[in-house]
Amino acid sequence: MDLKKQNSIFVDEQMIDELSSKGIISKSAHDYALALLYPTQNLGLWVSRLLLILGLTLSLSGIIYFFAYNWTKISPSTKLYSIQASIFLCLISSYFYGLQKLSGKILLLSASVLVGVFLAVFGQIYQTGADNYNLFMVWSLLIFPLVILSNFIPLWLLWLSVSNIFLLFYWEQKVLPSHEVKTVIYSCLVIFNIIFLSLYELFTHRGVTWLQNQWTRILLILIILTFSLITPVNLLYRSETKYSVIFGTFFSIIIHIALYKIYRFKIPCVKVVTATLISSCILIEIVAIKIILFDFQRADAIRLLILAYLSIHLFRFLTKKLNIIIKKMSNSNV
């Protein structure tokens, strides 16, 4: 086995146990390897972090329950001032700790969340009659400067979530789309999130250090794929198919092809290719069900058999293809 391959294989307990059970390595080699993998000195650190996380989670939940119990008894001004004080405290503490430290970033994240809480409480106290999209729009605008300063992915993801929710509510409550074009928003959300994915890839390529982790890309891809599948799913629920749904389905197909091409050849990533292929299977199945079955309640038995036959071959073909792709990409150490 060449060194490159040896470097790419990571050892785990299952592998060591299997080597030992087959008599390939001795018990002392087995124990030695496990001691390397799981050093006992980490136990103290693990326990202390477990205690901290459990303690904070239960204590904070208790505080929330306390406020919930006393909510009607607390005056509106106390409610607003206490939240404002919390935001201020988080911002000051974040400045004090500095944004280079994780604790500073988490405090900034907490402040951003509390901004949303403040707006919700404000809306509850002063019954302005404003639509939900207003809350998310203002929240998104207010925390944007903090997001830019933070260089912190969870805060960016919070901002992205709030913005997506704003766009959804805006479409439903302000634009008031007709039945014909109701699903167009999902294609818009796909484009919106692709812009951020592109920015992520651009800055990662330029070597921005705080972006260098794969799970952000995978999370963004999953969001894009989820939004791109919502419109095709409507094919199954509408007796007469709207043009917007057909357009959305074609758009979804293009997105899937584009993502596959980019993450297979340009920016190789096995997990993204796998997620895209799984999503493509779902998409193809939806289209197949729509074409073959037409109507669920009066499904013709032969059509079900045809669909079963097609599904077997489709999934077998895609699974084989994925297996080959993953092997090729693994050999290139992707």
Judged by CB under 8 A, the chain residues 51 through 80 that form the site for other proteins are 51-63, 65-66, 68-70
CA atoms within 13 A on the CB side of 307: 18
Q: Which span sits near other proteins by CB under 8 A: 75-83, 84-92, 164-172, 266-274?
A: 266-274
Long-range contacts of 26-29 (CB under 8 A, 24+ apart): none
| Distance in angstroms (rounded) separating the CA atoms of residues 166 and 138 | 9
Nearer to other proteins, 89 or 322 (CB): 322
Q: Is 11 in the site for other proteins (CB under 8 A)?
A: yes
Q: How many residues belong to the site for other proteins (CB under 8 A)?
A: 80
Choose, by CB under 8 A, the member of 177, 219, 274, 334 that binds other proteins.
Answer: 274
Choose, by CB under 8 A, the member of 5, 174, 205, 328 that binds other proteins.
Answer: 5
Choose, by CB under 8 A, the member of 29, 149, 199, 208 that binds other proteins.
Answer: 29
Q: Is 333 in the site for other proteins (CB under 8 A)?
A: no
| Distance in angstroms (rounded) separating the CA atoms of residues 165 and 138 | 12
Q: Is 226 in the site for other proteins (CB under 8 A)?
A: no
| Dihedral over Cα of 264, 270, 272, 275: its sign | positive
Closest CA to 36 of 6, 10, 18: 10
Q: Is 323 in the site for other proteins (CB under 8 A)?
A: yes
Contact between 141 and 166 under an 8 Å Cβ cutoff? The reply is no
Q: Is 305 in the site for other proteins (CB under 8 A)?
A: yes
Q: Taking the complex as a whole, how short is the minimal distance between the CB of residue 226 and other proteins, in angstroms?
A: 15
CA atoms within 13 A on the CB side of 20: 15
Q: Is 316 in the site for other proteins (CB under 8 A)?
A: yes
Q: Which span sits near other proteins by CB under 8 A: 135-143, 190-198, 245-253, 316-324?
A: 316-324
Radius of gyration for the alpha carbons in the chain, expressed in angstroms and rounded:
26
Q: Taking the complex as a whole, how short is the minimal distance between the CB of residue 94 and other proteins, in angstroms?
A: 21
Q: Taking the complex as a whole, how short is the minimal distance between the CB of residue 273 and other proteins, in angstroms?
A: 10
| Distance in angstroms (rounded) separating the CA atoms of residues 237 and 296 | 9
Q: Taking the complex as a whole, how short is the minimal distance between the CB of residue 309 and other proteins, in angstroms?
A: 9
Closest CA to 228 of 204, 206, 257, 199: 257
